[in-house]
A and B are shown apart, each in its own frame.
Chain A
Amino acid sequence: MDLINNLMLGFGVAFTAQNLLYAFGGAVLGTLIGVLPGLGPVATIAMLLPSIYALDATPALIMLAGIYYGAQYGGSTTAILINVPGESSSVVTAIDGYAMARKGRAGAALAAAGLGSFFAGCVGTIIIAAFAPPLTELAFKFGPAEYFSLMVLGLIGAVVLASGSLVKAIAMILLGLLLGQINTDVISGVPRYSFDIPELTDGIGFVAIAMGIFGFGEIVTNLSKPAEHREVFTKDVKGLWPTAQDFKDAWPAVVRGTALGSILGVLPGGGALLASFAAYTLEKKSRGRKDEVPFGKGNIRGVAGPESANNAGAQTSFIPMLTLGIPPNAVMALMVGAMTIKGIQPGPQVMTSNPQLFWGLIASMWVGNAMLVILNLPLIGIWIKLLTVPYRFLFPAIVVFCAIGSYTLNNSSFDVYMTAGFTLVGYIFYKLGCEPAPLLLGFILGPMMEENLRRALLLSRGDWMTFASRPLSASLLVAAALMIVVVMLPSIKAKREEAFQEED
């Protein structure tokens, strides 16, 4: 069977000493940043992009992927132990997880989160392996018009599911697309918006944007808030293994969460965050045994469901990135950037042109997930210690890494200045309540979108109807329009606001 053969090839790649090491390194780093509040995977991956120059493409991407799903694990640890979700996707885990920790059942909560995530990770890996080839086949039938429409759908999908104002989010996408226009036009060779600065004719480095906005911008934001007091339930972490009753309660939640997360992860903008919210709602609605602990008071299903869902979502959000080259969220946008840095054009051809990379990456996700269970459950004590590192030691370290990283991109001071400039931009966005993630997606997709738009128009001799008359393209655009309409419906709008209110 093809699936087995492909996975065998993948595991062959993943189980080399070098790749195991990078998967491990990524998982450790990911857990670390997941545990440390105020440092997200986007900033970390941006920070590490310069270091992948020295690596081959496969170990580099394996490491970056490890950081991404490692952060999901680490984030849940802090959510359970100190009620501070390290990642936005573990916000709901904190509700019941922290309640369990206060009752002295932190161990069971951590185990439920870890084992649930592992199960979800295994299923997610198989789903990617099974669905990637047919999707890739489909992608090869795409012409420029279809690609353009697909990107429209991807970008719209990424914002309708995000929190905050829809109009502002779409405007942020457009701003990202416009920033992507600062470059030399591929077709005519005319430098655009470069103001005669030679460095700008190559375009703004997306690392400068990501580091400035997500790295430094977050530091300024964190420093402007008063230092918070944290209470750590360290002494109560004992009895790691859940009871038989816990297992019986948790496993249906794990299965439901995994199913839900796998589906939502594929949707643009879905990924881990939406998956965990939806799974929590589902668990609340579904009936458990009669005498179970109520939700909000430390119900194990409230931990197992969302944690499985966010991990499954994190895995399957690789599907659109790997098969179509379209990133569904900001982390995937950086992965696309990393591939470009390594000279790999993201898109459906990656599977055939770089099978080692493609299947190796997929197999390494399973390996990484297994490592994470080992890392997180017995070594929990070490992670807890890290929680006590004060921010005044942490932020200079982030500044150093970002500053050196931005310099090494092109060995020029110009990128460092750009990064410093985007710090201001990032802080303004924060102050004005504009979410920056859509901007990054737009920025990454901008040049591709323009190229496909112009090629589609060339092919159709300037007829814009080409986007509507080709059935595949038309259905993608209709789907995008439907998404906007559905979100604008008053009843859904209220629900959406309510859902994001809970998050705050």
Chain B
Amino acid sequence: MKIKSQKDFWSGLMFVVVGLGFAWGATNYSFGSSARPGPGYFPLGLGLLMAILGAVVLFKALAVETEDGDPIGEWAFRPLLIIMASVGLFGFTLPLLGMALALPIMIVMCSLAGDEFHWKDALISVVVLTLGSWLIFIKGLSLVIPLWPKFITG
């Protein structure tokens, strides 16, 4: 069988798998009855409904002709992974190193995600954004964010 719309095929599959996953997970919770719906009642129904709609999308992807096959195209792994990694790392380093170090690390790292990278531009961003965040979030809004590394503040 030929896939006639790549995008619809994979999204349909996603809806079916995730829907069934939620429905299967819902069986761990009491279903109750219609008169006394339990915690599993609503998610089971929703999950099955989503799986059915996913199947419809899947069927259309295999049956209905499209002009160019709706290709998904190249995945931009580079920006995706860099952005995710730099944000994830920030979550890890912020409590340990404080904003004064964690922010510059994240800014330099995520700047690498762009087409062009210049140290000068990245350093400008580091200075402006770190100072700006300190002014806005810590001084202005007085939010509780660690500023200095743990090994300095103790």
Q: Which residues of A contact B (CB under 8 A)?
A: 50-51, 53-54, 165, 167-168, 170-171, 174-175, 177-178, 181, 185, 187-188, 190, 192-193, 216, 219-221, 223-224, 226-227, 391-393, 395-397, 399-404, 407-408, 411, 413-417, 419-421, 423-424, 427-428, 431-434, 450, 453-454, 457-458, 461-464
Contact = CB atoms under 8 A, between A and B. Distances in A.
Contact of B50 (A54, A171, A190, A413): A171
A171 B54 contact: yes
A190 B14 CA distance: 27
Nearest to B107: A396
B129 A397 contact: yes
Given A54-B142, A454-B41, 15 more contacts: A168-B8, A171-B50, A178-B22, A185-B39, A216-B87, A224-B80, A226-B115, A396-B107, A400-B106, A400-B107, A403-B91, A415-B91, A420-B84, A431-B7, A454-B37
Given A397-B125, A423-B83, A454-B37, A413 B95 contact: yes
Nearest to B126: A396
Interface centre among A174, A187, A224, A227 (most CB of B within 10 A): A174
Nearest to B25: A193
B110 A174 contact: no
Contacts of B26: 192
Contacts of A462: 33-36
B113 A393 contact: no
B90 A416 contact: yes
B103 interface: yes
A420 B143 CA distance: 22
A496 B121 CA distance: 45
Contact of B110 (A192, A399, A461): A399
Contacts of A190: 29-30, 39
Contacts of A223: 76, 79, 83, 113-115
A187 B39 contact: yes
A418 B17 CA distance: 21
B83 to A, nearest CB: 6
Contacts of A227: 115
Instruction: Please tell me the size bucket of the interface on B.
Output: 35 or more
A458 B36 contact: yes
Nearest to A193: B25
A433 B125 CA distance: 33
B72 interface: yes
16 contacts: A54-B141, A167-B60, A171-B50, A178-B18, A178-B43, A185-B39, A188-B38, A227-B115, A393-B125, A400-B133, A404-B133, A404-B145, A413-B94, A420-B84, A453-B37, A457-B37
Contacts of B103: 400, 404
A443 B150 CA distance: 37
Given A54-B141, A400-B107, A220 B15 contact: no
A488 to B, nearest CB: 12
Contacts of B141: 51, 53-54
B65 interface: no
Given A190-B39, A464-B34, A408 B143 contact: yes
Nearest to B94: A407
A238 B73 CA distance: 44
A416 B87 contact: yes
A9 to B, nearest CB: 29
Interface string B105-144: 0110011011111000110110001000100110001111
Interface centre among A221, A392, A396, A464 (most CB of B within 10 A): A396
Interface centre among A188, A400, A419 (most CB of B within 10 A): A400
Contacts of B122: 396
B57 A165 contact: yes
Given A188-B39, A190-B29, A457-B35, A417 B113 contact: no
A221 B76 CA distance: 8
B148 interface: no
A371 B136 CA distance: 24
Contacts of A51: 136-137, 141, 143
Nearest to B144: A411
Interface centre among A404, A407, A423, A434 (most CB of B within 10 A): A404
A431 B70 CA distance: 10
Q: Which 5 A-B pairs have the closest CB atoms?
A: A416-B91, A462-B35, A224-B76, A462-B34, A185-B39
Contact of B79 (A219, A413, A450): A219
Interface in B33-80: 33-39, 41-43, 46-47, 49-50, 53-54, 56-57, 60, 70, 72-76, 79-80
